[in-house]
Chain A
Amino acid sequence: MSKLLTVDSLTVRFSTEDGTVLAVDGASFAVAEREVLALVGESGCGKSVTALALTGLLPGTAAVSGSVHMGGQNLRGLPEARLRAIRGRDIAYVFQEPMTSLNPVLTVGRQIGEVLRRHQRLSGAAAKRRAAELLELVGIPLPVRRLSEYPHQLSGGMRQRVMIAMAVACRPRLLVADEPTTALDVTVQAGVLDVLRTLRAEIGTAILLITHDLGVVADIADRVVVMYAGRTIEEAHAEALFARPSHPYTRGLLDAVPNPARHLDGGLREIPGRVPQLSDSPDACTFADRCARADTTCRTRRPSLDPGPAGHPVRCWHPLPVPAAVTTA
């Protein structure tokens, strides 16, 4: 599969009143055409900041370095006007809050139409027809009637579908979905994930899915990049990651998923401590303070992202061994 988007050494620092905060620390990953890549990690790991940095959506207090290549050009360093043309057309976003992400005074049709008008110069009847098709595509019944409705007349799941319809209106090559299902209840979540799957099949868009929900990852992702404290720490195909996690943090995330079978003996395991807020990139493993396997090396030398025992890249001095049962499988 050819690379659609390549992120290399992306670093984001915020200057705050309490000094600088290192939000993303040299993140590198690539998204292939038509791929669903999940970016996972706890809150505060830099997932959303990474996503926003792709098209320069971070506020002025952010200092960004590194490169984001798409279609032969580095998006970083493009002037704002060029980025504006890319946003919504080549790279589109769906955010977490469907209840507040639609403008309350504009009808659904107007809001979808606005995107079409902006990037494809459609107007009037053509935009309306296309908007109805999009609503149909994201599984909204009676699409033509919905066009003339206001956001407050729609449920949360419907609004998120409308947001997705707006995002894919111009057939973007990459859809960045930042916690698209977090604010929705479980049955509605499943519906929204189904919509994302349909989109990939029908318009061939790649999806960068940002989530902390490993159930969502298992459901839809092809590959997974695990982030911790601004660094990418493990990267693998979804099945490989679930079967053979190499980084102790990934293992911890998997163990923290509620599992009725495991609850019988010992209950839910959690990772002690919390994500550190760094002001600078330490020459150490950022997970060392919470890791049972950490030793002096972990605290004094920075691990690099190298192929681990399970065959996929992991950033750890002491990666977990591959479980015996799985190696033979």
Chain B
Amino acid sequence: MTLELVPVKETGPAAPAPPGSRRRALRRVLRNPLAALGLVIVVVALLAAALANLVTPFPYDRTDFSAALQPPSPAHWFGTDELGRDQFSRVIFGLRASVEVGVMSVALSLVVGVPLGLLAGFYGWLDPVVSRLTDTLLAFPFLVLAVGLAAIVGPSLTIATIAIAAAQIPAVVRVTRSETLHLREMDYVAAAIADGASDAVLLGRHILPNAVNALIVQATVAVPAAIIGESVLSFLGLGVRPPTPSLGIMLASAQPLFRDGPWLVVFPGVAIVLLTLAMNLVGDGLRDALDPREVRR
């Protein structure tokens, strides 16, 4: 008995170079108007922060007492503070500090949290240990931790970053762990085991890459939270040291001047709100676009 080799049907008309599923996800994000708006704001803010030296009309620490406490004007778009410093320049530089802390602390929480989550999800016997550790961290008030660290080492941007990262590690561990628990049961993991893959290969090549979508979403939600955290710590004097501006410090130092110069509160405040709102919008859009339960179009 002979069997003809069945001609295998091509999948669709000659597809162009393989569009990664992530690229399609990005296109879906951009189709969502709110997420697209968020993305534009985030990109503009990131560019402004990165090119702060080029886009600001004045150095952030140049004082000019002849122009102290000026309301917004063509010369000083966001007005000036009690020392005559240009608020527009300070908001842009403040943005830089906020974004730095936000991104660095989230990166740090990922570096610590992802391996812990992978191990906890993959090795059942490690799970209780890691989970109780993260519970402990979660139960520890973030501000108490930050104040304690600052009291021991002295306040600095680094300490603020570490404290914020520590506050975010539990969430990262949990997301990674639950993804790992789910992914390790996948058929392709079983197939890889049957092909002789080691645990390191299973975790690094099969489980982690498939967990990345969930982690991207987690990170886009975590960055704005970290930025707010930085503002809080700087407001309390535990983060950036003056005269370096950060959005939080600007709010803190504007507090007594609120009646004489409301613009001193409005612009940094609006900057924080806009940036975190935009990042949350992008995060929501990404979540929708990367959600595996959504039917692929």
Contact = CB atoms under 8 A, between A and B. Distances in A.
B25 to A, nearest CB: 12
B210 A104 contact: yes
Contacts of B197: 84, 88, 114, 118
Given A88-B196, A105-B21, A105-B209, A100 B188 contact: yes
B21 A152 contact: yes
B189 to A, nearest CB: 8
A153 interface: yes
Interface string B1-34: 1011110111110010110110000000000000
B203 to A, nearest CB: 13
A53 interface: no
A310 to B, nearest CB: 23
A197 to B, nearest CB: 8
Contacts of B20: 150
Nearest to B14: A145
Contact of B18 (A85, A102, A118, A149): A149
Contacts of B11: 153-155, 158
B43 interface: no
B4 to A, nearest CB: 8
A139 B193 CA distance: 25
B202 to A, nearest CB: 10
A171 interface: no
Contacts of B5: 139, 191, 194
B196 A93 contact: no
A219 interface: yes
B8 A191 contact: yes
B205 A87 contact: no
B14 to A, nearest CB: 9
A126 interface: no
B294 interface: no
The CB with the most chain A CB atoms within 10 A, among B188, B192, B194, is that of B194
Interface of B is mostly: loop
Nearest to A153: B11
B155 to A, nearest CB: 42
B281 to A, nearest CB: 26
Contacts of A57: 193-194
A84 B196 contact: yes
Contacts of A157: 6, 8
Contacts of A244: none
Report the interface size class on chain A: 35 or more
B264 to A, nearest CB: 48
A105 B205 CA distance: 9
B210 to A, nearest CB: 6
A161 B186 CA distance: 19
A119 interface: yes
Given A95-B187, A114-B201, A154-B11, A191 B6 contact: yes
A173 B248 CA distance: 67
A138 to B, nearest CB: 10
Contacts of B212: 105
A240 interface: no
A100 B196 contact: no
Contacts of B270: none
A118 B195 contact: yes
B47 interface: no
B8 A139 contact: yes
B8 A93 contact: no
Contact of B3 (A101, A105, A161, A193): A193
A93 B194 contact: yes
A81 B62 CA distance: 66
Nearest to B189: A103
Given A148-B18, A153-B15, A157-B6, A103 B188 contact: yes
Interface string B187-223: 1101111111110010001100110100000000000
Contacts of A187: 6
A92 interface: yes
Contacts of A155: 8-9, 11
Interface string B80-115: 000000000000000000000000000000000000
A57 B191 CA distance: 10
Contacts of B18: 107, 148-150, 153
Given A103-B210, A141-B8, 10 more contacts: A87-B193, A103-B192, A114-B195, A141-B10, A153-B11, A153-B12, A153-B18, A166-B195, A190-B3, A191-B5
21 contacts: A87-B195, A88-B195, A93-B191, A100-B186, A100-B187, A101-B187, A103-B206, A103-B210, A104-B21, A104-B188, A106-B205, A114-B205, A118-B196, A118-B197, A118-B201, A140-B8, A150-B21, A153-B12, A157-B6, A166-B191, A190-B6
